[in-house]
Structure formats: C-alpha cells, structure tokens
Structure 1
Amino acid sequence: MVADIVSSTGQDVGGIVHFEHLNLEVPDLEQARIFYSEGLGLTLDPDTMGTQRGGLGVVWYNIGRQQFHIMKSNKGQNMPGNIHIVLPRLDLVHKQLEGLRGYFKGTKFNITAADGANGGLTIHLTDPWGQGFVVHNSDEDFPYERGISRIALHCPPDNIAALAHFYRTVFQARVEEAQDGSVKVYLGPGIRLTIFPDPSLDSSRDSLLSLYDGWHIAIYVAPYSHVFNSINDMNANYLDHTFADKSPTLPTALQNRQFRFQDIFELPGGARASHAAHAVPSTSGASLAEDAPAVNGSANSSTAVNGQKHGRLLYRFQHEVRSMHHPRFLHPLYNRPPGAEPFVPNQNTTY
C-alpha cells in the first residue's frame, strides 16, 4: 500500500535483498509445463541448457525477476501455506486456467475466482499436486508487474516470536510483527515470507518435521559472511543434499558464493522478541549458539551437537543462501507478454 511505502521505514529492505526462486518437485514435468506455462502464462527460461539448470529433469519458469525451479521427482511437494504471485491481465490468466479443467481432471487441480481486497480479480488456485496459490493483480507494497510476492507459512504459535528474532539476528532482516500474531520477514523490496500462527499445530520436533517435504527458496543476502558464520556456529549448515554447492567452511562458501541450511533454531532472547517494526541485531563476534535456552524434558529440547548447544527447533525448510557476488544475482530474465490471440490464418499472422 502507498502509505506503507512512503512511511519512514517503508522502503527499508534489510539484510535479505532478493528472493530469486522457489524450488518444487513434481512427478510429471509435462503436467507442470501445462500448469506453469499454459495456465499461469509463465515463460520457460530460454537462457539456460539442462546442464546449467542441474540436469534434464530440472525446468525453470520465469516470473518477473524471479523463477520457479521445477524438478522431476516421484511426488509433488507442498508447503504448509500458499504461494502468492502477482501477474498482469488476470482476466486472461483466469481464462487460461479455466481451460485446463478437462486436462487436469482426476488431479487436485482447482480454481476459484473472487473480487480482491483492493479491487480486481483474485484467483485461488490449487496445482495438480495440491499446492495452493493465490494470484493477484497487485499485492500490498510489491513493486513489480509480476513475481512471487509472498510465501505464506503456518507455524505453531509458540514459535512465532523466536522465528522473528532468528531472522533479525542471523540475517539482519527487516521483520514486522502484526497484532494478529503473524510475522513478515522481508526477502527483498515488497517480497515477504509471512508466518501465521496456527493453533492446530504443536511445536514438538516430530510435528515440525512433518510439515516439510523438501522444497526450498533461494535468497541473496548483504551480510553474507555474518549469515554463514551464524549458521555454522549453531551447526545448522546443511551438507546432506544432492546439489554441488556443499560449503562446510567459510572459504568454500565464499568460493561457491552460496550455502544451504534448513533447520531454524531458537536463539538467546528469541522468546522475548519485541513487536518493533525493525531491529538492528548485535554484530559482536559471540557465537549465536552460546547459552541458547534449554527446554528440559521437552520432546524438542536443546541438544548437544559437536560439543555446542543450540535451542529447540523452531521450523524446517531449506534456504539456499547466496552472496550478492553470485553470478546469477539480478540476472536478466525474459518474460513474454501476457496472453495471446488465437491463431487465425491470413488474419493476425505475418508470413
């Protein structure tokens, strides 16, 4: 909204400067092509070969300055919440998606349309494997014509404040906490990870792990070495993955210009995070794992890892964290114009 953008902190971004892609696995790449390209109207990235994308079973779809990375697997992945995207000409998008009902018969594909909160059409969409999408023509302070504007996740209420504290401290991110208990973590200009408290979820380790099935996001950060050292200090650096960018040390993380983690742990002071719109974390050299609070007797308590302690698990999903020196930072992406007129020989075609 305009009022948010022109407020004193409305254009602050924080330490996370860009959310580049969301990676999802699907069992059928042809069905995915129909959904993303023919339904949503996204552009199959013309700038890369399979070897550059990670293999022939990986396809990239451009959406503004961002992408969906779709990988062939044996099942469709789902996150515990909706993916919010912004597209122009929702009248055309709605028509394109409605035309796919027959093709996707027998799958979880579904579509409903309603008037949006800010006027215009809003499309509520479920992909063939059950992942929810909300398609807008604009979304709060998201500044672009098209893109992934929000990732919305459901979370146990007890973990919300500690998650806000984690992103403020580790990423130096802009974080806002709302009166309804939700948290917005800014992943770039107007791009948000919104975490909602869900009373139906409990904060036990088993419950948290059941929410996650392998999807990941890729983000670019300004304080890259600070983020890596913070994650590495709490033994959360994730190396047990199939990708080539394993970065066990800061020198390898600098060489790769990226690293990964997936477990978000409670940090000191996490349960007492304030409702300030933005906080600047301490940048002292102290390890973030030191003196993390233990939850004695809990199924999700503080545990010793390599001689260090970290707090309880708050959430799990994989973050592909990239330096702004990464060669694909703000790489230009081609997006075809929205919609297309039907082919009529000798009428709208130049030979």
Structure 2
Amino acid sequence: MTKPETRTYDRSAEDLGNIVALEHVNLGIADQGLATVFYMSGLGLTRDPYMMTSIDNMWVNVGRSQFHLPTMAKAQHLRGRVGLVIPDREALLQRLGRVKGMLGDTRFAFVEHEDHVETTCPWGNRILCHDPSSRFDGMGLGMAYVEFDAPRGTASGIAAFYRDVFATGARVERDAAHISVGIGQELIFREGDAAAEAYDGHHIQVYVANFSGPHARLVERGLLTEESNQHQYRFQQIADPTSGKALFEIEHEIRSLRHPLHARPLVNRNPLQTNRAYVPGRDGWVPEPTLPEMDDPRVEMRRKRFEEATRRAAN
C-alpha cells in the first residue's frame, strides 16, 4: 500500500489572540449630507439600514466592521489613518472623481499610490483604500487596520501593554507596534517626531473572548474609565506595563462575545449596481474567491461581464 502524502502545516499561523474583532471606529462629523457623499457615493460603502437611521448619527458598514459617525458641532480628527480593503480600484477612482464637485468646499482629496488609494474625508480624516490581497488574510471588503501616530520611543511599551493586559498578539517592526485585533485586522502605533495633536474623544471598539481578564488588569492599573453594562466597559490610556507611564490616549470600547450586537449580520451593497445597468440578483456585495483552491474561471468571467455592462451604460 502507498502511504498517504504527509503534509506539514504552520499551525501557529491560525492562532488568534484574545481580541477577536475590530468592529467600529467612532468619529464625530459636522454634516450628515457630506458624510453620505463621501462614504457612500465616493467610497462605495453602505449605510446600515436598521440602526441609526435619523439625521443625527450614521452607521456605515464596511464588510464586518463599521464607521460610527454622530453629528457634533466640531468634527473629530483621528490622529493617524484608517486602512480599508475595497475591491475594484478603477471603480473606486471613478466614484471619487464623480463626488469631487460636491465636496469642493471641504478638505476632501484623493490620490492614487502604487499599493493603495489615499482619500481624505471632508473633515481631514485620512482613509487608505487597499486592493484585496493575501496581506489582509483574504479580506475582500473590510476594515483592515487603524494606524495611529505615536510619540517616539513608545512602540515597545504599547506592544507590551496589549500582550500583558489583553493577551493578544503584538510585535514591533520598524518603529511601529502591530497589535492583532481580528482576522486580517491590526491596530498600528507608528512612532514619529511630529508634535502630538490633542485627543478629542474619538474611539474604537473591539470584541474580546476573555472579557474578565483584561477588566481585572485594567482595574488593577487604575485605567478603567467606564463600567458601561454587563457586556461592555471602556478605558482610555495605554500605559507602560512596567513603569505605568502613559504612552498613548485613545478610548477603547471593549465588548464581550455575549454582547447583543456581536456578529450581527451587516448589509453591504454592490456599488456597481445602477439604474441604467441593473443586474438582477447582484444588489448585495458578494465576495469573490481569493484562495487558489477556490479559483473558478466562471466567477471571473461573470464579474468581467457585469463590470463591462456597467461601464458601457455609464458612458
């Protein structure tokens, strides 16, 4: 008998730290109409149809994550960048070009780079749009990272904080702390010499598997800022686990996997659909196969036919 082929695998590549998902970034904005033009018409994302449907707040779906955009007198500014994965760069650039006139009196801008499209929202927040790739663990549409501009000399302490308090993967590469916060998702704290902006209260939200352990360690260090409810708490300061020195300030909304909103299905539309080039059954965004063993030439053929029909109608 022939012995079956023996395969070896890197089992550690499948490990996931205690932080299992980066669910949303919350940024106050000054105008819901301008946000609609940028996030929906420009980026091609989807307003959540079930939650926050009035004119004082907006939840914007991007894959399994969201932006939360409440109306505020003064818009908030994230000290860094949000990295998204958005398919079809050509279609993205066309959408951004079409909204340029509507956002002409704002800080809106976009520029294409070799490996991403850099966009700036009407209030100056930078959102980098990447093509789907193996870099993001097969993510086809989603929020891949939030990158913060951190003070010089803080990366090692920040990585140690997340390892000690949250028992999640953290490493330092080229003066930047990379924190695992889900499949294909990271928080990045990149050291720099620029003067730090004042923190204005924006926040991020993550889900954790072991909910009580980080809570106890935050209480022990005097860092907990809010006991929200049974399923949620908050903290704001990232501190060196050895010295206790404050390293960076960003509010974290921490939720357990028992939170009622955990794993809520998010609606994501197909932004290629138009009334002039409508394809039945393609209203919702459907991820294309990304793994080699899932390649199917028929899927690629259907995608190309759909995109060609859309562009012919647009012209």
Q: Does 2:31 match 1:22?
A: no
Deviation of the 1:325 alpha carbon: 0.7
Give, in angstroms, the shift of residue 227 of structure 1.
0.9
2:225 is matched with: 238
Q: 2:245 corresponds to which letter in structure 1? A: R
Cα distance between partner residues in 2 of 1:37 and 1:127: 12
**Match for residue 83 of structure 1?**
82
In the aligned structure 1, how far is the partner of 2:194 from the partner of 2:147? 16
The answer for the alignment partner of 1:155 in structure 2 is 150
Q: Distance in 1 between matches of 2:66 and 2:234?
A: 18
Matched, 1:218 2:205: yes
- Alignment match, 1:261: 235
- Structure 2 residue aligned with 1:130: 124
Q: For 2:215, what is the secondary structure of its paired residue?
A: helix
CA shift digits 1:70-127 (9 cap, x unpaired): 11001221122111100112211110111111111121111111332xxxxx211111
Whole-Å separation in 2 of the counterparts to 1:211 and 1:167: 23
2 CA distance for matches of 1:64 and 1:37? 13
How many residue pairs end up in the alignment? Answer: 272
Match of 2:139 in 1: 144
Specify which of 194, 198, 203 is matched with residue 188 of structure 2: 194
CA distance in 2, matches of 1:70, 1:37: 13
Segments of 4+ moved more than 6 angstroms: none
| Distance across 1 between alignment mates of 2:250 and 2:235 | 8
RMSD: 2.2
- Does residue 1:57 correspond to 2:56, yes or no? yes
2:170 alignment partner, one of 151, 167, 175: 175
Is 2:267 the counterpart of 1:334?
Answer: yes
**Equivalent pair of 1:83/1:132 in contact (CA under 8 Å):** yes
Runs of at least 5 residues in structure 1 that lack an aligned partner in the other structure: 1-5, 117-121, 202-206, 240-245, 248-252, 269-292, 294-310
Q: What TM-score results when the alignment is normalised by the length of structure 2? A: 0.81
Q: Secondary structure of 2:39's partner?
A: helix
State the partner residue of 2:49.
46
User: What's the counterpart of residue 296 of structure 2?
Assistant: none
Between the aligned partners of 2:217 and 2:39, the Cα distance in structure 1 is: 36
**Is contact 2:52-2:59 (8 Å) kept?**
no
Give CA-to-partner distance per residue, 1:56-79, whole Å, 9 cap, x none: 511111111111111100122112
Give the match's secondary structure for 2:268. Answer: coil
Q: What secondary structure, in the 3-state scheme, does the structure 1 residue paired with 2:136 have?
A: coil
Identity of aligned residues (%): 30
- The amino acid of 1:18's aligned partner reads A
The superposition leaves residues 203-256 of structure 1 with CA deviations (integer Å, 9 ceiling, x where unpaired) of: xxxx5xx442111111000111011111122222223xxxxxx44xxxxx4x2x
Confirm or deny: 8 A CA contact 1:79 1:211 kept in the other structure: no
Distance 2:87 2:277 in 1: 24
